[in-house]
Structure 1
Amino acid sequence: MNHALPARQTLLADLATLADCARAEGFACIAARREHGAQSVDIPGPQVAILLQGRKQVSSATQLLAFEPGDLFLTTRACRIDVINTPDAASGLYLTAVIPLCAEVLEAARLLWAEPLPQPGQALARLPIEEFATALPLWRQALAEGRYAEARLVLAGMVVTLCRRGHGSLLLPPEPTLATQVQALVADQPERDWQSRDLEQALSLSGATLRRRLAAERTSLRQLIVEARLARAMELLYTTRWPLKTVAARVGYRSARSFSQRFQQRYGLDPARIGNQLPD
């Protein structure tokens, strides 16, 4: 008798309950109700995503991966991907639990490793959830009980396990960039009317220095503000059922139409295609 499928279904059902857990932090449940694709989606850093319902296809410049419920989607470093998300035929829902591997988790894993770094491996990987059938319930229970230090400790152990299996990029500290700092500031307050002087003050830089350093990183202040706002908008479109005009306002757009146009230009996706919005 094959017990693998029932065990997988039980674990997925257990993880799915976190979507309604008021005390859960450090993860997001991404939902969609229509099939859709998005281009050039930036993943800001290491994360683990667990497909709970539906199907997912991911492609980068060098990799093409397909996921089904019970697959773990590992991103070992910042990257840009194209995705196609397909809801489950029976439930009509696409659902993924995304767990960003925060700086505290990664630093703890580096301390636990205490030996030469392993090979970096690929940026993207597909793994069966059964490989973490012990760790994930412990993580979920700690989150549900508000024991966030214990939850991070479980994730640090998972990172060490992943590195043993050839995903050493997780232990490589990211190179700090000014662009990353700018995007983090904007992402915290995407509705704010950000001006250069605001960021100059926050970063203790002159306007000329800010522009020069961003140019050296092949970007601009305007581009970073737009991308940070749209990335936050994508998160809201997946994690809430707000109407488009509400999402647009939350990320600094006065017009839902101009927001939709800019979003489609950036991702090749009409934001309404995600299908979560309730009627206005």
Structure 2
Amino acid sequence: MVFTNDNRVMCIMPPLPDITSDTYQRRIWQRPDVGATATVRQDLDVRISSLLVLQPSLIVVEQGHKTVHWDGGHIRAGKGEAVWLSKGRYDVINEPAPGGAYEAFWLAWTPASLDRRRTTAAQNSRSTPQAIMLQPEMTDALQRAHLSIGDPKLPDAIALHRMEEVLYWLGHLGIRIDHSSDITLTDRVSTLIASDPGHPWTLQAVASRLIVSEATLRRTLSDKGTGFTELLIDARMSAALSLLQSTDYPVDRIALEVGYASPSRFSVRFRARFGFAPTAIRGHKRLRKFQEFRECP
């Protein structure tokens, strides 16, 4: 990028480190057609309202407590427990441990991986969010799945097998996994944007990718009480929240990753969406600023 200072002298800044470099120790690991995983750390107790979960996910609490509210109920889980979330919107509170932080890791399955494995659950199986008391054997399976997604030495087939093992455990516990039900056009829009939140999405481009007319897309979103701009902002801010919780990227880098060249504008959008500043997720701690990459002489 090129910037001009007050004296109209131009300078070119070297690029920031690549997000897959060793500069960033924490990141979100993904394998196409298998799944994704990341660790989560949060230093302050904040309520995250109306968080959209697009993929079936399991969150393993390692420190602190997690509370999830939805229409019809709520659950709370602490260390040694996990939370199962199906697709939907939830209010979430991640409560740090006394004198510490909230820490967890999550696993998410792609539709392709779920299509390969249909869990066999009892007739009274449940698809609503569940708090799960973990047995040692299941904890081991969760750790293996978590580590396999980010281990480049392991082939995809092994990572897939370890993720499927967790699905068997969930089926054994009576949890029904049905990712294909009620996939709406609105969900498809959110999923597409979330796949690349930094892309300059337009309604026209999204309609083209989803093979629907612009008029149909506008009408469908209007019928759901929303609009394209609202979905775009929500998907980008949700992606930013995940990056704040699960990576070491500085806030200005996260702003770029979700489509905002201006960190201040990003912060305004984030606060408007969630009710707190991006830095609240990380408490009063500040990551190093990468001044060597960001400042002109």
Q: Which amino acid aligns with 1:96?
A: A
Matched residue, 2:111: 103
Post-superposition shift, 1:80? 1.7
Matched residue, 1:79: 88
Distance 1:125 1:208, change over 3 A: same
Please give the alpha-carbon distance, in whole angstroms, between the structure 1 residues aligned to 2:281 and 2:147: 30
Distance 1:248 1:119, change over 3 A: same
Compared CA separation, residues 175 and 149, structure 1 to 2 (3 A): farther
Residue 274 of structure 1 corresponds to: 281
Q: Which structure 1 residue ranges, 4+ long, deviate > 3 Å from structure 2?
A: 19-25, 116-120, 140-145
SS at match of 1:242: coil
Distance 1:205 1:80, change over 3 A: closer
Q: 2:39 aligns with which of 23, 29, 53?
A: 29
Please list every run of 5 or more consecutive structure 1 residues that lacks an aligned counterpart in the other structure: 1-18
Instruction: Give secondary structure in 2 for the equivalent of 1:118.
Output: coil
Shift of 1:177: 2.0
- TM-score, scaled to structure 1: 0.79
**1:71–1:127 CA contact under 8 A, matched in 2:** yes
Corresponding residue to 2:219 among 198, 203, 212: 212
- Which residue among 57, 69, 75 is the counterpart of 2:79? 69
- Cα drift, residue 23 of structure 1: 7.8
Q: Aligned partners of 2:274, 2:67: CA distance in 1, in Å?
A: 16
1:187-198 to 2 correspondences below 5 Å: 187-198=194-205
- Mark the runs of 5 or more structure 2 residues left unpaired by the alignment: 1-24, 290-297
Whole-angstrom distance in 2 between the partners of 1:88 and 1:28: 19
Matched, 1:40 2:50: yes
Residues 1:65 and 1:194: Cα distance change in structure 2 (over 3 Å): same
Deviations 1:120-179 (A, max 9, x none): 5252111122261452354356443423322322332432332343322x1352333222
Q: CA deviation at 1:44?
A: 1.5
SS at match of 2:287: coil
Match of 1:225 among 209, 232, 257: 232
Q: Kindly state the Cα deviation for residue 277 of structure 1 after the two structures are TM-superposed.
A: 4.4
2:161 aligned residue (148, 153, 161): 153
The match for 1:9 is none
> What's the offset of the Cα at 1:236?
1.1
Specify which of 202, 206, 220 is matched with residue 209 of structure 2.
202
Q: Give the number of the structure whose residues are more often helix, by fraction.
A: 1
Alpha carbons of structure 1 residues 24 and 147: separation in structure 2 relative to 1, 3 Å: farther
8 Å contact from structure 1 (residues 27, 100) kept in 2? yes
- Judged with a 3 Å threshold, the aligned counterparts in structure 2 of structure 1 residues 188 and 109 are, in CA distance, closer, same or farther, namely closer
Contact 1:53 1:95 in 2 (8 A): yes
Q: RMSD value over aligned CA atoms?
A: 2.8
Structure 2 partner of 1:177: 184
* Helix, strand or coil at the partner of 1:185: helix
CA deviation after TM superposition for structure 1 residue 239, in Å:
1.6
Alignment of 1:136 onto 2:148: no
Match of 1:162 in 2: 170
Q: Is the 8 A contact 1:87 1:94 kept in 2?
A: yes
- Give the 3-state SS of the residue equivalent to 1:154 in structure 2: helix
